[in-house]
Amino acid sequence: MTHTTTDRPTGRTSGAVVPVLAFAGIVVAVMQTLLVPVIKDLPQLLHTGSSNATWVLTSTLLSGAVATPIMGRLGDLYGKRRMLILSLAVMVVGALVSALTSDLITMIVGRALQGFAMGAIPLGIGLMRDMLPREKLGSAMALMSSSIGVGGGLALPLAALVAQHADWHALFYGSAGLGVLCIALILAVVPESPMRARGTFDTPGALGLSAGLVLLLLPVTKGSDWGWTSATTLGLFGAAVAVLLLWGLYELRISAPLVDLRTTARREVLLTNLTSIMVGVSFYVVSLVLPQLLQLPSATGYGLGQSMVVAGLCVAPLGLTMMFTAPVYARLSARFGPKATLILGLVIIGIGYGAGIGLMSAAWETVLVSVVLGAGIGLAYSSLPALIVGAVPASETGAANGLNTLMRSIGTSTSSAVIGMVLANTAHQTNGIAVPTMHGFRVSFLIATVAVAGGLVLALFLPGRRPAGHTQLRASSAEDAVLELAEEALRGFRGRVLGADGAPVARAKVTLIDRHGRQAGATMSDEDGGYLLVVPSEGTYVLAARAGGHGPYASHATHAGDDTHVELDLSLPGDTVPA
């Protein structure tokens, strides 16, 4: 027999945890959309050419794509709250660097540091999964996942207002202030998760993934500038394929990989990640098209002639609707499951883009399109983390959601590159200035509609699952846990958690760990000390138990994988750990 220890939460989980974590997601979104109102002015503001100025946006995308899975894995290993605070702290430093300069290179460095904040989304989802009861988890993850759209929608008009009436560097000071406030709130109300993955950090895997992602996303984001058939673009795509293949082979051969590709290759995880790319594409198209259409002068014959602030206000309902769909998602998912809500969200997005092709002649029509798309994207974004969380062990939640967030980032970056190319190739020249055309806007919406259709096909092949029947979503009580487990399978371990005096211990956390050191299940003991855990397959496991006022305890046990329960009582030592 062996003993194992687990970090205890630093405080009681309060009702403020979910709003604070969602606020962290909003801060990340604000950082991302900060420069949207001044994109067209960046070359003049930084005294450089247009192609160089785009690196201010590209650097954030690249660093965010690299940091997201890495911070997720570090969170699984060393604490999600700790890595969440670190991500936001690096963002604050980057914002201050950008606020103090008008030099291109320094600005790119500052924006790259801000990209580290992207890790906050999967880390926040991981914290929610570790701490919240089942009945609150669905709506909480929906709110966290949607916060990226909420923040983006709210930030557009506010950033436009600041850019119109103050020095543009004030945008970065505001972002830094929000980051500091978010860190303070997390320190005050969010406890650290006790969940830890076993193993060490895969440094070669992190370097290989970083190199592969940079080689992939560079030509995706710069292909329209370099030429899609240029030697540079094709060479980088080829190098990306080679590096990522070698990285994948390496990850399959080590015991503690950065990304468990075997888990990622599961049908549910793989299809969810591929669908996430399509949802990312659909989210970014509306953000690129509508602000430009609204701000184009009416003299063009199709431009709506609105100011920067009004254009931001017209697109803001996209984010607001995403926020309001979070509780709706929770009810729909509880009844029909996350697969059904994902499909519904994709159908609504398709309707929004399809209708939007013909609704571009008035500002109120763009508001209507934003509302419909916000509802669909909110449902789709809310479903993705629930599907991932339900398909992976708890110890891999951070890394798995980090990879899912990365898939969305690949979708948005691909969308940016493709739509940018479409608008550039369909633009007409007026006094040496390229002006987007209505044809280009409609083609962009058509591309988004096709992407959504592809995502819908992928989602239809996701395995169905009963909404509340998956053991990896933590139950709201010990009785609920026992009922869910009993319904789902007949094989596993059961018994009682007892104190040193032989008395039953209620509300003890019992964790099932497989031979790879990964969590395979978890539950809480009932009022009589009883527990029940299902095993995924035959093999040797460790059952670890912990409760306030008792020392930790762990026992090795073997299950044959047949439809039986192995009886095993867990006896906790005396009061060696403070309650």
Q: What is the pLDDT of residues 285-324, one digit of tens each?
A: 887 788 888 878 887 777 777 877 787 788 778 777 877 7
The pLDDT value recorded for residue 468 is: 37
The band of 396, judged by pLDDT with boundaries at 50, 70 and 90, is low
> Given the structure tokens 């990622």, which residue do they identify?
264
Q: Which of 142-151, 250-259, 321-330 has the lowest mean pLDDT?
A: 142-151
| Element housing 296 (H / E) | none
Average pLDDT over residues 233-260: 88
Q: What is the pLDDT of residues 57-71, one digit of tens each?
A: 778 877 887 888 788
The pLDDT value recorded for residue 433 is: 65
Q: What is the pLDDT of residues 112-157, one digit of tens each?
A: 999 888 888 878 878 887 777 766 776 677 677 667 666 766 777 7
Q: Which of 168-177, 312-321, 419-428 has the highest mean pLDDT?
A: 168-177
Checking if the pLDDT of 48 tops 70, the result is yes
Q: Looking at the DSSP assignment, which residues form a beta bridge with residue 567?
A: 494
Whose CA is closest to 1, among 576, 579, 573, 506? 573
The band of 2, judged by pLDDT with boundaries at 50, 70 and 90, is very low
Residue 359 contacts residue 365 (beta carbons within 8 Å): yes
The pLDDT value recorded for residue 126 is: 80
The pLDDT value recorded for residue 7 is: 39
Q: What is the pLDDT of residues 198-234, one digit of tens each?
A: 677 888 988 998 888 888 878 877 777 788 889 999 9
Tell me which of 293 and 13 has the higher pLDDT.
293
| Domain residue extents for the chain | 17-202+264-460, 478-571
The pLDDT value recorded for residue 387 is: 83
At 507, list the tokens: 């509300």
The pLDDT value recorded for residue 12 is: 45
Residue partners of 152: CB distance under 8 A and separation at least 6: 29, 30, 32, 33, 287, 318, 319
The pLDDT value recorded for residue 346 is: 93
Residue 346 contacts residue 397 (beta carbons within 8 Å): no
- Report DSSP letters for 393-434, one per residue: -GGGHHHHHHHHHHHHHHHHHHHHHHHHHHHHHH-EEETTEE
Checking if the pLDDT of 560 tops 70, the result is yes
Average pLDDT over residues 561-579: 69
Apex CA 252: angle with CA 246 and CA 256, to 5°?
115
Q: How far apart are CA 167 and CA 170, in angstroms?
A: 6
The pLDDT value recorded for residue 58 is: 74
Please state the φ and ψ torsions of residue 517, each to the nearest 5 degrees: 85, 10
- For 547-559, b/e burial (b = at least 16 CB within 10 A) is beebbbbbbebeb
The pLDDT value recorded for residue 235 is: 94
Whose CA is closest to 165, among 309, 312, 316? 309
- The percentage of the chain sitting over the pLDDT mark of 70, rounded to a whole number, equals 84
478-571 placed in CATH 2.30.40.10: no
Average pLDDT over residues 268-290: 84
Please state the φ and ψ torsions of residue 559, each to the nearest 5 degrees: -125, 140
17-202+264-460 placed in CATH 1.20.1250.20: yes
Average pLDDT over residues 18-41: 82
Q: What does pTM read for this prediction?
A: 0.67
Average pLDDT over residues 457-486: 50
Does 478-571 match 17-202+264-460 at the fold level?
no
Residue 348 contacts residue 455 (beta carbons within 8 Å): no
Checking if the pLDDT of 10 tops 80, the result is no
Q: Which of 447-456, 515-524, 538-547 has the highest mean pLDDT?
A: 447-456
- The percentage of the chain sitting over the pLDDT mark of 90, rounded to a whole number, equals 14
At 514, list the tokens: 């497989």
